[in-house]
Structure 1
Amino acid sequence: MRKLPNETPSNQLESAPHRKCILTGKSLPQDGLVRLALSPDDQIAPDVRAKAPGRGAWISVDRAALEVAHAKGQLKGAFSRAFKTGKLDIPDNLAQLIEKALERATLDRLGLEARGGTLLTGSEKIETAARQGDLVMLLHASDAGRDGNSKLDQAWRVGSDREGQDIHGQILPVDRQGLSVALGRQNVVHIGITDKRAAGRISHNLERWRHFIGSDKENDEDEKKVA
């Protein structure tokens, strides 16, 4: 029996840095939150890569909850407390800016993995790797055909000795055109990942993006999709 889905050890989760969400007050692992920064011109801006200097504010909520908090004035109060100043400007389209930043970070990561050789495209190549047990992650464009998805899903189950289980690739919140541009390749409909660490890096970005836009509520079996 081949090794089954990759799981993050509990001691690793416990040792990960925690940050408090400014809206819920909950302290959660930093990797699952989104950081926002205050620019020199006092504007709140997404910092999803957590690289901007200075004090940051962290959120764990999805887009819908953020927009409600913004509309009720709760977001400004939370930012004022986090940055210890009332002199700040919150863009009306902050939620959209965050979503776009998370999308960009995920697509950039896929592009880096493509250049690093840990990513496969093309149904035939992916199917071969899947049946040989070399696939650790499977992704489908949002507009991929059901038959094509099912064929690769089945190949992955066979190759990983999990026939009969509900194991299938993730449906990405981006279509084939977006994937093709990100990877610099033509007609990217399916993506296969052959490196465990690469799958972890992609999952980190993808899970934050999907959580923020709310698509994780429709895909609550993701822990089964990285092998």
Structure 2
Amino acid sequence: MTIEEGPDLNLDAGPRVRRGEAERTCIVNRTAGSPDGLIRFVIDPEGVVIADLKAKLPGRGAWVTATRAALTEAVRRKAFARAFKSEVTVPADIADRVDALLEGQALSALSLANKAGAIITGFSKVEAAASNQDIAGLIHASDAGEDGVKKQAQAVRRRHGDDEGQVARVTLFDSSQLDLALGRMNVVHAALLAGGPSAHFLARCAALEVFRSGALTGGPSPASVNEPKH
């Protein structure tokens, strides 16, 4: 079946997932899967296609696999116009806008984790936590020095041995972004204490990393990466 046919397969019936509608179909590759692995798009009152990351905006929605490559292909194929069966405006920088939204979600989750007391900062304190506690992950600023990153990795290795790969690493943000999210100056390294707030942050980081690269490279995907959007 082509994209032009079967419009009910291209759009959902609204923002709420109803019984029997647990799967969504990507308008680009026609692959059906959990909504967690796709991004919902709707048309705003001006006819502009916008991302609905929380899948709560009113109106029928079109779903795209949650990667930059898939979104770029959707734009190239004019898949949104076909799916919505109408003239729509797709911003030229729609992929960058989605990236910024996903990044904002991750940094907001980091701020919430910090308020919940789940973040440790300061090189020595992070090293001690990595050596003595079962932390959920390490955060390194993208502009962190290589020596500091190696020392933190050694601390994790002393604690976890062959299981060190179970500790997530986040290197998605520079030090200025970490400073702003955590309300502190000169944050280069941080440790994530195990728990819900850290898992939520890691889930948002996973979504951002998968969108950018199509895969996870910073360690294990936490169980809550598949937390529902609805």
Task: Tell me the TM-score normalised to structure 1 length.
Answer: 0.78
Shift in Å, 1:65: 4.0
Distance 1:106-1:17 versus aligned 2 partners, 3 A rule: farther
Q: Equivalent residue of 1:55, what SS? A: coil
2:169 alignment counterpart: 170
Shift in Å, 1:90: 0.9
Distance 1:121-1:17 versus aligned 2 partners, 3 A rule: farther
Superposition pairs for residues 15-54 of structure 1, below 5 Å? 17-54=22-59
Shift in Å, 1:95: 0.9
Cα-Cα RMSD = 2.7
Deviates most, 98-107 or 187-196: 187-196
CA contact (8 A) 2:121 2:189 kept: yes
Aligned mates of 2:101, 2:221 — CA distance in 1: 26
CA contact (8 A) 2:22 2:35 kept: yes
Aligned mates of 2:222, 2:137 — CA distance in 1: 6
Q: Tell me the percent identity.
A: 33
Distance 1:189-1:17 versus aligned 2 partners, 3 A rule: farther
CA contact (8 A) 2:138 2:189 kept: yes
Distance 1:32-1:199 versus aligned 2 partners, 3 A rule: farther
Aligned mates of 2:117, 2:158 — CA distance in 1: 24
| 1:79-122 deviation line (CA, Å, top 9, x unaligned) | 23443x31321111111111111111111111111111111222
1:126 alignment counterpart: 126
CA contact (8 A) 2:167 2:220 kept: no
| 1:138-175 deviation line (CA, Å, top 9, x unaligned) | 1211111111111111212222x325855665242221
Q: Equivalent residue of 1:223, what SS? A: coil
Deviates most, 46-55 or 85-94: 46-55
Distance 1:201-1:163 versus aligned 2 partners, 3 A rule: same
Number of equivalent positions: 204
| 1:167-191 deviation line (CA, Å, top 9, x unaligned) | 6652422211111112221111122
1:222 alignment counterpart: 219
Q: Does 1:153 align with 2:158?
A: no
Shift in Å, 1:18: 3.0
Contiguous gaps of at least 5 residues in structure 2? 1-20, 224-230
Residue 95 of structure 1 aligns with an amino acid whose one-letter code is: A
Task: Tell me the TM-score normalised to structure 2 length.
Answer: 0.77
Distance 1:140-1:177 versus aligned 2 partners, 3 A rule: same
